[in-house]
Structure 1
Amino acid sequence: MTSVSLPSTRLGELAASSLRIILASQQPSGAFPASLTFSAYRGYCWFRDGSFIADAASAAGEEEAASRFFDWCARILDDRRGQVQVIVAAAAAGASAPDEKMLATRFTFDGREGDDDWWDFQLDGYGTWAWALAEHCRRSGIDASRWSSALELTCDYLVSSWRRPCFDWWEEHSEEVHVSTLGCVVAGLDALSELGVLDDTRRTAAARAAAEARVLIYERGVQGGHLVKWLDSGDSDASLAALISPLGVLDPASDLTGATLDTIAIDLEVDGGVHRFRADTFYGGGQWPLLSCFLGLAELARGNRGRAQTLLEWAASTAGPAGELPEQVDRHLLAPDRHQEWVDRWGPVASPLLWSSAMYLRLALELGVVAPIERTGR
C-alpha cells in the first residue's frame, strides 16, 4: 500500500479542526447535522451518523456536547412512545407494523420527521445511539438514568424488531437483513443489558436478543470465513469493520476478524482509500475517508498500529484547506460513468461531512495523535 506520509503536526492540526467543525456545527437542540451545506442532507440529523459523531466528541473529552446530542435522541424517542408501543404490540401479535410506520432514521434539528421521500426505515441508528451513550457514560461517569425512559423504549423497539429486513447504512436493499445493522443492534442491546437502567424483564430480553443476533451473524452472515454484506450473500462491505472497532462485537484477535479485514482490504481498499462495496455507483463509487478510519480503528484493535497510521494519513490527505473532510473523493471511481448524474441531482459531494470529521478524530485519538481534553470528573 502506498503511504501518504503526512507530518504528525498536520495530523494533529486536522484532528483539532475536525473537533472544531463538529462543535461549531452542533445545533441548539443538540442535533449534529450530517452536513450543513449538502443539498440532500441539509437540515437533518441521523441517529447513526450523529451517534458516531457524539462518540468522537465524548472520546475527545467534550462531555457536554455529547450529552446534548443524547438528550436530543431521548426527546425524539420519548415523543414517540405511543408509536413504539404500537410497533411492539403488533410484533407481539405476529402482525408486524409496515415499514412506513417504523421509526425514521433521520429527523430535523427540532425533532420532526422529514416531509420528503427518504429511505427511512433503518434499525442500526437505534442500536448505535444506545451503544454510544453507554460508552459516554463509561468515560464520563454520568448516570445513564438521565435517559432511562428513552433507553427502555429503545430496548422494546430493538427486541421486537431486530430480525426485520431494513435499509442498510447506505440506505439500500431494504429487502435484506444486513450484517452491519445486526452488529449495531448487538452493540446496542449489549450496552442496554449492562447499563443498569432496565428492569429485570427488559434486561433479560435485551441480553437474549443480542445473543440470538450474534448467532445469526455467525450462522448466516459469514461466508468463506469472513463477514458478508447481508445474510447469505457473498459480498463484502466496508461498514463491517465497525463490528470490530469501535462497536466491539467481534473479538479483534479472532480468525473471523482477520479474514474480514483481509477481505475488505483486497476487495475495497486502494492505497489507503476505502470503497463502500464493489457495486457502488453513488457519485461514481468513490473512496470514503470515514471508512478508511473505521478500517484503521479495526486494524489498531488487532494490533496493527502502522497500518492504522497509514489509513489515518490517507484520510487526512482528503481534507480541504479549512480542515473539512468530504464524504468521498473521486481518486479511484468504481463507476466513473455514474458520477455526473449525482452531481446533476444533488450538486458536489458533501463537504464537510461531520461523520468523516468524527471518524478521523476518533482514530487520531486512539493513535495518540491528539489527547482528549482534561476531564472534570464527577
Structure 2
Amino acid sequence: MPSFWYGVFVMADFIKRVGTNGKISWQARVRRKGFPDMFKTFRTKVEAQKWAAVTESEMARHVFTDRSLAERTTLGDALEVYRDEVTVEKAGHQEGYVIKAWLKHPLSKRTLSSLKVRDFQAWVTEKKATVGPKTIRLHIGVISNLYNRLENLLEIEALPNPVLKLILPPLPEGRDRRLNVIEHDDGTVRNEAEALIGACADAVNPWIRPAVEFALDGAMRRNEIVQMRWEHVDLNAGMVRLPAAITKTGVSRDVALSPAGVQVLRTLPRSIDGRVFPLTADALYRAFVRARKRAGLDDLHFHDLRHEAASRLREEGLDLMEIASITGHKTLQMLKRYVHVKAKDVVEKRQKSHGGSHG
C-alpha cells in the first residue's frame, strides 16, 4: 500500500519477510504502466522505501534504467560473453590471455552493478607490485572495452564505466634502441643492421632474413607479418593492404613500401597456404632470437625493428601523419614513442640547411 518516505509519497508495495533464522527483510515492489515490474529486497524498510522512491521518480521523469540485469550478471559472466563475441574476432591471443587472468581474480565473481572505481583502483595497487604499467593498462583496457559494449552485448544500459577515473601508473619512456653504426677507437666500424641481416642469412630457417628485411621496411608488427597473405599485396602499387582482421587495432590500413621492400617480396616463393611468410609468430621470434645472438645483439627485440623502421621513415622525410598511416598508430603521442631520430642526423640537416658548420 502507498506510504511516505521523508515526505515523498511512494506508491510501491512493501512486504515484510521473516527468515527461518528469524532475520527480517523487506521486499519493495514497484509497478508502473509502461515499465517492467521491479522487485528488490533490503535489510530495512527505510532502505526499501528509499529505493522505491528513487525508482518511481526516475519512471515519472522517463529516465529509468532497469538495473536488475546488472545486479544479476557477474564481471566473469560478462567477460565470457565479450570473449566469445568480440575477442574471438580479433587478431592475436593477447586479449584472450588477459580475460583468462581476469576470470581467475575474485573481482570476476562480483556483479557488475556492485563494482566501483575503488575496487579497480585496489586491483591496480595490488598489481603494481608484480607487473609493469603496460600490463596494468592492457588489463584495464579490456575492462573498459567490456563496459563500453555492455548495451550491445548484454542489453545492460546506462551502467557507468568504473575504470574511466582510475589513477594508472605512467608508462615508461619508449625504448630508443636503434640499429647503429658504431665507430670503435681502433678505427673499425660495426654496422648493426648489416650484422643482423648477415646473421639471418646464415640461419637454417630461410624465411627469417626476408622477414627481418621486410620488418625494417614496412614497420609492421610480428603478428601482422606472419598473417599477411599474397592477396593483401599489390606489388605494382608498392603497397600492402592489411585487413582489419589481422591488425592489432582492428582497423584496416594500407602500408606503403619502399622499392627495397617491394623487392624483398618479389624474391619470395609463393607458399601453399597463401601467406607471404609461412611462419608462426613464435617460430619467427625463436629464429630471430638465434640470429640476434649470432650477431652479438642480445639486447635487441623483434619489436625494436618496428621502432627502427618508423624512425627511418621519419629520416626519409615523411611527416608523422604519413608515418602513422603506415604503422597504424591511432595517436601521434603513441607514434612519438616509436620514432627516435638520431640527434647527429638532425644536427647535420640543420647545418646543411644553414649552409655552414659548427664554425
TM-score, structure 2 normalization = 0.24
Q: Point out the structure with max Rg over C-alpha.
A: 2
Higher-helix-fraction structure: 1
TM-score, structure 1 normalization = 0.24
Structure with higher RCO (Cα < 8 A, 6+ apart): 1
